[in-house]
Structure 1
Amino acid sequence: MLPSGVVIEEQGQHPETLQFLLEGDVQMYARAVGRTSTVELIAAPDAIALAAVVASEPVLASYVTLTKCRLLAINANAVRTRLGEDAAFGAAIARLLATQGRRRIRSLYNHKLRTGVERLASWVLVKWIEAGKVEAFRRPIKKQVLASLLGLTPESLSRCCGQLEQHGATLDGAEIKVFDPARLAILAQPDHLIDGISLSHH
């Protein structure tokens, strides 16, 4: 079991093992020209840097544990050898790669097709559904991680939080309140092809 804050893979390195995330949450992030941005948050069960292992290429992002995590490491060469020998294993890896690829395309659409406040509204709506549609629940990640995930500066996130109040939700400290989900959905414009789940019947 790893504590939070442990870097599992470093951007630009060749992974020596394939790490399967069995428990916990991992932040995938990239750095360039002095900037850092969160690519996505990965929840168990999933595989870390799977495409890099399969292709025997450098990892395009870094991965750090956000919570306590339990991982299973398998030698990368053994994984690639098994791919050529075991059709069922190869099919399972292909399905997992497809799932990861579609998830990241959805994230790209979210950033390309929505404004900052719309991205925040959509994120809040999804987390409200995951929390059981209760009116108030705790923000599951730190604000700076949320800002990076949504492609916002901390200042822009604060402005978006201020705008959100007139659309049915508030982010006050670590607490999120959704007091008018119908109005929030009007701003978020939920789309199952982008959000990955149906938000239309909230």
Structure 2
Amino acid sequence: MSLIGRDTERLGRHPLLAQADTDTLAMLCRSALVQTFPEETTLVAQGEPVDYLYILMDGEVAVSGTWKDREATLTVLRPNATFILPAVVLDADALTSARTVHRSRLAMLPAEQIRQAFANDPAFARAVAHALSADYRGLVRGTKSQKLRVGAERLANYLFAEQARQGGAPTFELSHKKGTIAGLLNMSAENLSRAFATLAGYGVIVNGPQITIRPNAKLNRLARPDRLIDEAVAPCSAENSAQNRPAA
């Protein structure tokens, strides 16, 4: 389905397109498609050519990788995320697969048009460079967390991030199934269960998908959120030390 007025306006405000030349934006919007996909639809297959740059407008998309008979979820994308930009820019095969987690609505911009805009529009090229740089920093953060933290520490910081994203209340629900969380944290299902058991001794109560975090300094000392690893570091309780807060 081609774009309608509100879709064009929304794309025009997207960080990747907001500074693009008027002609560039018009070209991309003319060739763009918007489509709603049902749950568990494969959008991109690992190893296959990439025909579109996707912008997630509503829903969630899981990005995963496979090797032999193994599969791991690398990230779960939320609205306004783009994928798979590096493969589009390089005109290369996809290194990962992408599928919808829930019913999702996506804008699809032809890859060839993206490369044309990248070559001819300096403002758009800067936006692409900014997006790729932000993605790289996210990759570094994730790698540092996996290499430097043990499982219980990774899980504690994941729960703090989920709690903050949902408003900061002591009780909240996990956004994803535990199998997906295990993949995101580079853990087996068994190791994730052990990590949850460990956190029970630090004031974390699990009731199915519902999590309750009792504010306490002990859990903060275990997790030690770090602004150079975690995307956003929020105080986890009144006792949270100043060294764990982001610099002003």
2: CA distance between counterparts of 1:178 and 1:59?
A: 39
Inter-partner Cα distance in structure 2 for 1:68 and 1:98: 29
Change (3 A) 1:153 1:89: same
1:154 aligned residue (182, 186, 189): 189
- Structure 2 distance, partners of 1:129, 1:135, is 10
The letter for the 1-side match of 2:197 is G
Could you tell me how far apart the structure 2 residues matched to 1:201 and 1:145 are? Answer: 24
Q: CA RMSD in A?
A: 1.3
Specify the structure having the higher radius of gyration (Cα).
2
| Higher RCO, 1 vs 2 (CA within 8 Å, ≥6 residues apart) | 1
Q: Is the 8 A contact 2:59 2:102 kept in 1?
A: yes
Written as runs of structure 1 = structure 2, the 5 A alignment for 1:184-195 is 184-195=219-230
1:198 aligns with 2:236: no
CA distance in 2 between counterparts of 1:180 and 1:61 reads 38
TM-score normalised according to structure 1 size:
0.95
Correspondence for 1:69 among 89, 104, 109: 104
Structure 2: 5+ residue stretches without partners: 1-35, 238-248
- Give the match for residue 111 of structure 1: 146
CA offset at residue 116 of structure 1? 0.7
Determine whether 1:126 maps to 2:144. Answer: no
Tell me the matched-pair count. Answer: 202
Does the 8 Å contact 2:160/2:236 carry over to 1?
no
SS at match of 2:50: coil
TM-score of the superposition, structure 2-length normalised?
A: 0.78
* Distance (whole Å) between structure 1 residues aligned to residue 236 and residue 198 of structure 2: 24
Equivalents in 2 of 1:23, 1:48: separation in Å?
14
Letter in 1 for 2:120: E
- Which residue type is aligned with residue 96 of structure 1? A
Do the aligned partners of 2:220 and 2:236 also contact (CA within 8 Å) in 1? Answer: no
Q: Which amino acid aligns with 2:90?
A: A
**Percent sequence identity over matched residues?**
30
Q: Which residue of 1 aligns with 2:28?
A: none
